[in-house]
Amino acid sequence: MPLDVHELMKQVGRIRVVTSRLMDEHLSGEYKSVFKGQGIEFDEVREYTPGDDVRSIDWNVTARMGHPYVKRFCEERELTILFVVDISGSQSFGSGDRSKAEVAAELTGLLALSAVRNQDKVGLVLFSDRIERYLPPRKGRTAVLRLVREVLAMEETRRGTDLAGTLRFLNRVQKRRAVVFLVSDFIAENYEKELRATARHHDVLCARIQDPRERELPDAGLVELEDPETGALVMVDTGSRRLRDGFRVSAAAENAALTQTFRRLRIDALDLSTDPDRPFVKEVHRLFQQRKHRRRARSGTR
């Protein structure tokens, strides 16, 4: 059921307050230091000083002033941030207080608020087995609040997940390089080719959201399980140790394979959970630190 307008605005307000606090407490200054701009832009000219690169001399100004001046450039800071968020049936699952969809909305709110504070553009793609909603990148707080509202307001669906088709759509509509946050549980097939193409053109970060019950089944006896994307029902004897062990091993193998895919494609990934004992902001902070250290290492700075 979709949220009514009053409840929706309460949730948008709550996420805005929570994510503002999280950003101030944990991520202040990190966002800007982690993501590169689109290139360099002219900043100013100044007098030449010994040690400056002679290739940066502005010969026109030098001729007018009678002594050397150099051009100074700075990194172009404005970024385009695209949130590509899975709202297929499996995202409605949550064994505790929060569903995977709610974690996705909070994560999107946190990162979008960081982006708007940095004067970046934010856009949104909501997808299931089709493109459900597309908001082209825009600047400003209004754009962020609409983005969070759209993630929260989408109706629950039994639709599946067409990740490959979504990435093809993204590559078609977003020509300029962007930072792409792909938020999903990645319960999908045959999308590696499209993910590789996207990662070649954009800076892709994958946020995988899981529920603890998707990693390990509890011993709860006979349980009827429903596939949230198809509605199919199956009776499972969770009292069987063999079944629980098999499920745990299979889930671990799938997670390891996905992690290996991200590494092979050189894509940074967040491993998030609906478990309240695993707050996602810690994982975001860890990833930001990794990227910052890697960037410093490439530039030769400490």
CA-to-CA dists, residue 183 to 24, 60, 107, 235, 299, angstroms: 23, 50, 9, 30, 29
- Report whether 76 contacts 51 (CB < 8 A): no
What is residue 74's predicted lDDT score, i.e. its pLDDT?
Answer: 47
What is residue 195's predicted lDDT score, i.e. its pLDDT?
Answer: 97
d(CA 267, CA 240): 38
Domains and their CATH numbers in the chain: 40-76 (no CATH), 78-299 (3.40.50.410)
- Report whether 106 contacts 19 (CB < 8 A): yes
What is residue 73's predicted lDDT score, i.e. its pLDDT?
Answer: 57
Q: Which residues of the chain register pLDDT less than 50?
A: 1-3, 5, 8, 38-41, 74-76
- Report whether 148 contacts 50 (CB < 8 A): no
What is residue 268's predicted lDDT score, i.e. its pLDDT?
Answer: 93
- Angle CA 148–154–155, to nearest 5: 155
What is residue 241's predicted lDDT score, i.e. its pLDDT?
Answer: 93
pTM for the complete prediction? 0.77
